[in-house]
Structure formats: structure tokens, C-alpha cells
């Protein structure tokens, strides 16, 4: 079994147009939401062996705020995850090390939204899936489980949605 957690970065600050997109920091609202998500992750015992995080500042800052909830997972900051589309993300997942059973990716939309929808089996009807199909908001967490033995076996439509957590549901 393999479990993939997709965490979209927290809300970023767009106030200063001189700051390039990759260097935008988190907004106060984003910091609050990331701390809330860390608490939710601790209570629901969401764990990851490995964390792969986009190199953008807002994703790195999101990781720093949720890291205590992950229990010391090995983290890698990756430029190839910055604004990656669903196809690139699927290829990235297929190349993950087989020894990792639970992996968290921290990144961006629209790639995460498209990937989350693509990975879940069409027969998996649930309110969480309805929410995922509607929108993948900032600081939302999508967890998908696969019966695959290796990440190379993970394909679109083969996952079971464990949950889709949005901070606004717990504010």
C-alpha cells in the first residue's frame, strides 16, 4: 500500500507587485491556516516518510509551519515541483523510492487540483470527492491510498480518497 498526501501551500501575500511569484511569502491568513492544518494533521495522525516541497517561498514557509506534525519526515525542496502540471506530478510520483510508503507533496494549483481528481477512482463517490472536484483551496490536504506495491504502479483512476481536508471546515 502507498499513501500520497497533496498539500497545497497556504495563502500567499500578493500585496507587493515587485516580489516575483516564486518569492511571495505567506499572508497572515495563510500562516493561521497552516498552523490550523498542522493541528488537524496531528489529531488525525497524518504521517509521511518523505516530504517533497516546491522550492517557492510560500511552499517552504508552509512546510516549516506543518513540519512539527510530520514527526521528522525527510524533506527535499524541489524546483521541478514549482507550478508542475498533473502530468509532470504523475511522472514525479512514479519515480518515488519504493521504500517510502507515505509521501507528502507540497505544491501548487492547478496541478494539485487536476492530479487529485485524476488519481481517485471514478467509483469513489463521497462528499470529500465532491469538494475536491469543486476546488482545491490554499492549505487544503488531499490524501489518496493505492494498493500499488511501488510508486511506479500508481496510475490515474486507481486511488481511494482517504480524505480531503479544508481548513475552512474547522475554523
CB atoms within 10 A of CB 122: 8
Give me the domains of the chain, ranges plus CATH numbers. 2-169 (3.40.50.1240)
pLDDT for the residue 19: 85
Q: Looking at beta carbons, which pairs linking 93-100 to residues 24 or more positions away fall under 8 Å?
A: 93/4, 93/151, 93/154, 94/151, 94/152, 94/154, 95/151, 95/152, 96/50, 96/151, 97/50, 97/151, 98/149, 98/150, 98/151, 98/152, 99/49, 100/49, 100/50, 100/151
pTM for this predicted structure: 0.95
Q: Quote the pLDDT of residue 126.
A: 85
pLDDT in tens, the chain (171 residues): 999 999 999 999 887 788 898 999 999 999 999 999 999 999 988 989 999 999 999 999 999 999 999 988 999 999 999 999 999 999 999 999 999 999 999 999 999 999 999 999 877 678 888 899 999 999 999 999 999 999 999 999 999 999 999 988 886
pLDDT value, residue 124? 64
Amino acid at each position: 500500500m502507498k499513501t500520497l498526501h497533496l498539500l497545497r501551500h497556504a495563502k500567499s501575500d500578493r500585496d507587493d507587485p515587485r516580489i516575483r511569484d516564486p518569492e511571495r511569502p505567506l499572508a497572515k491568513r495563510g500562516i493561521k491556516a497552516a498552523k490550523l492544518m498542522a493541528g488537524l494533521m496531528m489529531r488525525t495522525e497524518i504521517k509521511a516518510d518523505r516530504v517533497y516541497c516546491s522550492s517557492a517561498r510560500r511552499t517552504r514557509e508552509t512546510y516549516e509551519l506543518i513540519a512539527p506534525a510530520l514527526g521528522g519526515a525527510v524533506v527535499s525542496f524541489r524546483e521541478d515541483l514549482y507550478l508542475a502540471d498533473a502530468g509532470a506530478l504523475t511522472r514525479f510520483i512514479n519515480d518515488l523510492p519504493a521504500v517510502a510508503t507515505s509521501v507528502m507533496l507540497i505544491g501548487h494549483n492547478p496541478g494539485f487540483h487536476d492530479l487529485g481528481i485524476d488519481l481517485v477512482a471514478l467509483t469513489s463517490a463521497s462528499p470529500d470527492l465532491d469538494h475536491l472536484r469543486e476546488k482545491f483551496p490554499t492549505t487544503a490536504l488531499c490524501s489518496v491510498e493505492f494498493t500499488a506495491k511501488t510508486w511506479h504502479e500508481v496510475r490515474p483512476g486507481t486511488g481511494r480518497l482517504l480524505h480531503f481536508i479544508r481548513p475552512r471546515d474547522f475554523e
